[in-house]
């Protein structure tokens, strides 16, 4: 299938699994299931908040998570970036990573997931974790903005890690902001890998707090986490 979407980065990289040529672009039509599968297979198993909620241990919770991601991507397709193997053709090859984000505005109503939370205690637990984390920092007030590109998640297939794909995703998000006139992109960087990748692209830490202290205050256990969870922000970047 030829792509008719925006291409944000083309790059060549070497890593522990060899050498590769890749392309970061908007998700083309017809590839939604592949993107969702990446999140279901890897993201919910490895991302800190999802692990703490126990979603990866519950089939009903995973079904709810799939429903949420599917609805969000179907509604906001242009806010979904993919990384594919690039063979110098117009064909979108194997999708090896994805980055989901959506426009958030200062006066937007809160998302209502109450119906879905009732279907799974683990999903309800995740919503509570997200609520507690996000209530700690008012990005609109602190950054003096009315809108931003907010993070939903970034995932890279294990086979293709070590090529710097996550950093390229963060870089592409800044270019999307530039193209669409959005003043900021931001994300809760919950893992060491995401924090390092974002820092390498010039993202700044706007707020952070200790996982240990947060866990004690809220009765949560976090395994294999960095010392702090960081809310990181980045400004638009000129398009090449």
Residue 110's pLDDT is what? 76
156-205 pLDDT per residue, tens: 999 999 999 999 999 999 999 999 999 999 999 999 999 999 999 999 99
CATH code of residue 58: 3.40.630.30
119-134 pLDDT per residue, tens: 888 988 888 888 888 8
Residue 178 located in a structural domain:
yes
Question: Per DSSP, what are the bridge partners of residue 232?
Answer: 187, 205
Q: What does the mean pLDDT of the chain come to?
A: 89
pLDDT band at 240 (very low <50, low <70, confident <90, very high): low
Residue 131 located in a structural domain:
yes
- Residue 54's alpha-carbon distances to 47, 109, 146, 217, in angstroms, are 11, 27, 34, 19
Residue 2 located in a structural domain:
no
Residue 1 located in a structural domain:
no
What the block records as the tokens of 130 is 């997200």
Region 212-225: mean pLDDT is 87
Alpha-helix residue ranges (DSSP H) falling in 56-181: 59-75, 114-117, 121-134, 139-143, 165-180
Distance CA 104, CA 229 (A): 21
Residue 121 located in a structural domain:
yes
pTM of the model: 0.91
Residue 223's pLDDT is what? 85
Residue 3's pLDDT is what? 41
Query: Is the pLDDT score of 112 beyond 80?
Result: no
pLDDT band at 78 (very low <50, low <70, confident <90, very high): low
Distance CA 163, CA 234 (A): 22
pLDDT band at 4 (very low <50, low <70, confident <90, very high): low
**What's the domain count of the chain?**
1
Distance CA 25, CA 1 (A): 14
Out of 2-6, 57-61, 118-122, least confident range: 2-6
Distance CA 231, CA 54 (A): 23
Residue 240 located in a structural domain:
no
| Dihedrals phi, psi of 237, to nearest 5 degrees | -125, 130
Residue 115 located in a structural domain:
yes
Residue 127 domain boundaries: 7-234
Residue 76's pLDDT is what? 58
What the block records as the tokens of 152 is 């939903």
Residue 77's pLDDT is what? 46
Region 92-110: mean pLDDT is 91
Residue 169 located in a structural domain:
yes
Out of 43-52, 119-128, 222-231, least confident range: 119-128
Residue 90's pLDDT is what? 83
Between 162 and 110, name the one with better pLDDT.
162
Distance CA 149, CA 176 (A): 9
């Amino acid at each position: 299938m030829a792509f008719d979407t925006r291409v944000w980065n083309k790059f060549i990289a070497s890593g522990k699994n060899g050498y590769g040529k890749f392309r970061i672009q908007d998700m083309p039509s017809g590839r939604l299931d592949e993107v969702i599968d990446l999140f279901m297979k890897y993201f919910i198993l490895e991302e800190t908040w999802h692990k703490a909620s126990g979603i990866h241990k519950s089939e009903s919770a995973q079904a709810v998570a799939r429903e949420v991601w599917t609805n969000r991507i179907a509604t906001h397709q242009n806010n979904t970036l993919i990384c594919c193997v690039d063979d110098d053709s117009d064909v979108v090859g194997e999708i090896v990573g994805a980055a989901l984000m959506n426009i958030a505005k200062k006066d937007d109503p809160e998302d209502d997931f109450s119906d879905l939370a009732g279907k799974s205690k683990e999903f309800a637990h995740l919503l509570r974790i997200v609520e507690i984390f996000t209530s700690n920092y008012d990005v609109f007030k602190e950054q003096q903005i009315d809108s931003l590109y907010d993070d939903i998640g970034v995932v890279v297939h294990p086979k293709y890690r070590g090529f710097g794909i996550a950093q390229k995703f963060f870089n592409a998000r800044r270019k999307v902001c530039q193209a669409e006139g959005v003043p900021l992109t931001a994300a809760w960087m919950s893992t060491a890998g995401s924090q390092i990748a974002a820092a390498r692209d010039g993202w700044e830490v706007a707020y952070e707090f200790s996982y240990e202290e947060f866990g004690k205050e809220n009765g949560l256990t976090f395994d294999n986490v960095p010392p702090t969870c960081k809310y990181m922000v980045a400004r638009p970047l000129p398009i090449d």
